[in-house]
Amino acid sequence: MPTFDLSIQPLRELNQALRNLGAGANDDVFEVVNPRGSHAVAVGIDAPVTVEVKGSVGYYCAGMNDGGAVTVHGSAGPGVAENMMSGTVVIEGDASQYAGATGRGGLLIIKGNAASRCGISMKGIDIVVHGNIGHMSAFMAQSGHLVVCGDAGDALGDSLYEAKLFVRGNVKSLGADCIEKEMRSEHLEALAELLEKAGVTGVKPEEFKRYGSARKLYNFNIDNADAY
């Protein structure tokens, strides 16, 4: 198992090694020690590799991940798993702003809390937060699932498209065009599967409320024509 010590090795060497992985590569598990809040750790992965980061990271960790399994044994700065395509990213601590932003696939698990704008413009990614999320989360979220086991801040789901939001705790306020929706059997099944994948225990899908788009913002209404 290759080990990269970022206190003595340049970050570029780690990311280049991960980028050089191809079919039949012998090294499929990497360990990163002493990350010391470095930015852009393990970005651009496009192979089924496992990366264990022993400490906290800065901006954009695991950005553009496509098939990798990245675990941060600490907290993450803004933009973790930004634009993720597939794979899994696990943050054992807290995540800062816009975690999972624009993500197109894969699963992001945050075992602590997430700050503002979690899941903005998500396009297919699934995000499970064991704790709370901040304001303006899921802003313009297009598809995928955002699961919050704690509370949500102001303006949840503002200008939402078709992403599905599940919150177990309190929601401070809903954003424009976001409403509470019926929780049907297919939603309970999908939620149960996500909770299991994210290692959430002692929580039942029936304890959550579902939120989604009222579909009034992105459809033209002839009654409002004079306003344009």
Same domain, 127 and 54: no
- Name the residue with tokens 């344009």: 228
Q: Say how many C-beta atoms besides its own lie within 10 A of residue 151's C-beta.
A: 17
Residue 206 lies in a domain: yes
Q: Report yes or no on 85 lying in a domain.
A: no
Q: How many domains is the chain partitioned into structurally? A: 2
* 61 and 108 housed in the same domain: no
Q: Report if residue 182 sits inside a domain.
A: yes
**Does residue 195 belong to any structural domain of this protein?**
yes
Give the model's confidence band at 216: pLDDT under 50 very low, under 70 low, under 90 confident, else very high. Answer: confident
Whether 209 and 101 map to the same domain: the answer is yes
> What is the distance between the alpha carbons of residues 110 and 34, in angstroms, rounded to a whole number?
21
Same domain for 68 and 101? Answer: no
> Six-digit token pair at 145?
């699932």
Tell me: do 54 and 141 sit in the same domain.
no
Over the stretch 107-140, which tens digit does the pLDDT of each residue have? 999 999 999 999 999 999 999 999 999 999 999 9
Q: Are strands 107-110 and 3-5 parallel, antiparallel or unpaired?
A: unpaired
Distance CA 67, CA 5 (A): 23
Burial grade of 225 (CB within 10 A; 0-12, 13-18, 19 or more): exposed
Instruction: Give the pLDDT confidence score for residue 225 in this predicted structure.
Output: 59
Residue with tokens 């994210």: 198
Q: Residue 122 falls within a domain, yes or no?
A: yes
Domain hosting 163: range is 97-218
Is there a single domain that holds both residue 127 and residue 179? yes
Task: Tell whether pTM > 0.85.
Answer: yes
Residues 35-78: tens digit of each pLDDT: 999 999 999 999 999 999 999 999 999 999 999 999 999 999 99
Dig out the tokens for 24 from the structure. 């039949």
| Residue 188 covered by a domain | yes
